[in-house]
Amino acid sequence: MGLIVQKFGGSSVANAERVMNVAKIVTDTYREGNDVVVVVSAQGDTTDDLIEKAYEITEKPSKREMDMLLTSGEQISISLLAMAIEKLGCHAVSLLGWQAGFNTTSAYGIARIKSVKADRIRAEIDRHNIVVVAGFQGLNKYDDLTTLGRGGSDTSAVAIAAAMHADRCQIFTDVEGVYTADPRKVPAARKLKEITYDEMLELATLGAQVLNNRSVEMAKKYNVKLEVLSSLKRVPGTIVKEVAKMEKMLIRGVTKDTDVARISVTKISNTPGIAFKLFSVLAKHKINVDIILQSVGRDNTKDITFTVSKGNAEEAVSCIADAFDISEEDIICDTNVAKVSVVGAGMESHPGTASKMFEALYEHDINIDMISTSEIKISVLIDIDVADKAVSAIHKAFFPEE
Ligand code: ADP
Ligand code: ASP
Ligand code: MG
């Protein structure tokens, strides 16, 4: 008995049959004596389809209008789910993000949640309603609709759970939990019973799309007990929490991130202050840099190579060309790269992790472009065409198939 927040992703509400299936899960939870707040995403590929519609009109849609358009996807699913719940004999009310009290920063398309004033949700619960809230959206200080970035409904759910001190936040999706690799790409991937917030945050940031990384960040901050589970099969999923049982695993997972571009600035002056100048120009343009590599200086010149997200690549090249007064042709930008990583708190005390990962790549003749490490992850930058092969090879090395 308690308050449970349940979130269902796009594939879980893709059609009428799936919406009825979700309504059954939600009403079962309610009938067990719980108060239930449900957060839903847009049905199936609706968000992608809406983006496509915008680009049929213009190459440069206004960010404000884009958010006005994209928030409509979730409006469809909340109303349909509320109808489905009523059909199963419970009372339900659907609320858009602003009705549910979501205040966000002003940046359209990438807004952050500032607060959730949950009074309306609470009032509806007191009226014995199951409350169905549109994920991925809020209202900014100009009273305009905003969206939270792709995959943002996970964060909406965690934000409600945090604001209302819910007993649990369940993220229902199309796989049975968090696996040691994407189970759709690596059939031998294993389901994890438990994982820590830190490890999950790393996995999510490095490409495991099963949870949005901001949702994990928020769950850690407010100590929200998260559970990832299937909307189609009623089996235990994965619990995300502060301390997890280690199950003697050296690493927790292998991930792939294809939203990467590698930029090389060659033959720049080998004098102090160059790296400072380069990265402060990027910072001024609010461009995040990930892996950085600087060559040893030779003949008074050196090369600096770094990675940014694909969406920032063009702007990064042009602002560096301007700042260093060089031609854009002297800056090499490669978008056919991917970052493959291994993640796990266990690797800190095991010096062999990197060599095991590199051996797996060598055995498959995969060349490493760049490497970066932290206490709980090792990432390599490789050719995008061999990224799936690399994930499988590395996974096999760490999780031998019985
Ligand atoms: P939803 O629409 O429910 O939000 P997503 O498509 O955003 O679902 O996330 C679920 C998908 O994440 C799965 O279908 C799976 O292919 C992918 N995925 C990637 N890495 C992992 C992983 N390590 N564990 C589980 N799923 C993963
Ligand atoms: N519908 C949004 C998207 O496709 C939000 C979400 O699914 O979490 O990104
Ligand atoms: Mg998602």
Among the listed ranges 36-45, 214-223, 345-354, which one has the minimum average pLDDT value? 345-354
* Angstrom distances, CA of residue 290 to CA of 205, 227, 246, 261, 383: 12, 29, 29, 10, 17
* Model confidence at 29: pLDDT above 70: yes
What's the CA-to-centroid distance between 264 and ligand 3, angstroms? 33
pLDDT band at 348 (very low <50, low <70, confident <90, very high): confident
Instruction: Please tell me the predicted confidence (pLDDT) of residue 230.
Output: 98
Q: Give the residue, 400 or 3, on which the prediction is more confident.
A: 3
Mean pLDDT of 50-77: 97
Closest residue by CA, ligand 1 atom 1: 9
Q: Which tokens in the block code for residue 129?
A: 């309603």
Mean pLDDT of 81-102: 98
Closest residue by CA, ligand 1 atom 27: 182
Instruction: Please tell me the predicted confidence (pLDDT) of residue 247.
Output: 63
What is the atom index within ligand 2 of the atom nearest the CA of 48?
Answer: 4
| Ligand 2 close to Cβ of residue 11 (< 6 A) | no
| Ligand 2 close to Cβ of residue 156 (< 6 A) | no
Instruction: Please tell me the predicted confidence (pLDDT) of residue 259.
Output: 96
Instruction: Please tell me the predicted confidence (pLDDT) of residue 282.
Output: 96
**CATH 3.30.2130.10 residue window(s) in the chain:** 261-334
What's the CA-to-centroid distance between 157 and ligand 3, angstroms? 11
- Three-state DSSP state, 161: helix
Percent over 70 (pLDDT), the chain: 99
* Angstrom distances, CA of residue 16 to CA of 136, 193, 296: 21, 31, 61
Instruction: Please tell me the predicted confidence (pLDDT) of residue 295.
Output: 87
- List alpha helices for 229-335, DSSP H: 274-284, 310-324
Pocket perturbation via mutation, ligand 1, pick of 25, 175, 186, 191 by most ligand atoms within 8 A of CB:
175
Instruction: Please tell me the predicted confidence (pLDDT) of residue 297.
Output: 75
User: Looking at the domain that runs over 3-173, which CATH code has it been given?
Assistant: 3.40.1160.10
pLDDT band at 176 (very low <50, low <70, confident <90, very high): very high
Instruction: Please tell me the predicted confidence (pLDDT) of residue 257.
Output: 97
From the list 76, 90, 68, the residue with the least C-alpha distance to 23 is 90
Mean pLDDT of 232-237: 96
| Ligand 2 close to Cβ of residue 171 (< 6 A) | no
Closest residue by CA, ligand 2 atom 4: 47
Mean pLDDT of 190-199: 95
The CA distance from 333 to 328, in Å, is 10
* Model confidence at 175: pLDDT above 70: yes
| Ligand 1 close to Cβ of residue 172 (< 6 A) | no
Q: Which tokens in the block code for residue 4?
A: 């449970």
pLDDT band at 27 (very low <50, low <70, confident <90, very high): very high
Q: Which tokens in the block code for residue 16?
A: 């009428």
- Three-state DSSP state, 394: helix
| Ligand 1 close to Cβ of residue 98 (< 6 A) | no
What's the CA-to-centroid distance between 161 and ligand 3, angstroms? 17
| Ligand 2 close to Cβ of residue 44 (< 6 A) | no
Taking the CA of 11 as reference, the closest ligand is 1
Closest residue by CA, ligand 1 atom 18: 182
Beta bridge partners of 292: 306
In CATH, what is the architecture of 261-334? Answer: 2-Layer Sandwich (3.30)
Beta bridge partners of 374: 377
Q: What is the pLDDT of residues 269-289, one digit of tens each?
A: 888 899 999 999 999 999 999
Mean pLDDT of 153-172: 98
What's the CA-to-centroid distance between 350 and ligand 3, angstroms? 33
From the list 26, 35, 67, 394, the residue with the least C-alpha distance to 206 is 394
pLDDT band at 350 (very low <50, low <70, confident <90, very high): confident
| Ligand 1 close to Cβ of residue 174 (< 6 A) | yes
Q: What is the pLDDT of residues 289-306, one digit of tens each?
A: 999 999 887 778 889 999
For the four alpha carbons of 302, 339, 383 and 55, in that order, the dihedral sign comes to negative
Question: How buried is residue 230: exposed, middle or buried, by Cβ count under 10 Å (0-12/13-18/19+)?
Answer: middle
pLDDT band at 243 (very low <50, low <70, confident <90, very high): confident
Residues 6+ apart with CB under 8 A from 299: none
Q: What is the pLDDT of residues 126-140, one digit of tens each?
A: 999 999 999 999 999
Taking the CA of 212 as reference, the closest ligand is 3
Instruction: Please tell me the predicted confidence (pLDDT) of residue 246.
Output: 65
Instruction: Please tell me the predicted confidence (pLDDT) of residue 269.
Output: 85
DSSP 160-222: HHHHTT-SEEEEEESSSS-BSS-TTT-TT--B-SEEEHHHHHHHHHTT-TTS-HHHHHHHHHT
Instruction: Please tell me the predicted confidence (pLDDT) of residue 330.
Output: 82
**Angle made by CA atoms 277, 279, 283, in degrees to the nearest 5:** 115
Average pLDDT taken over every residue of the chain: 95
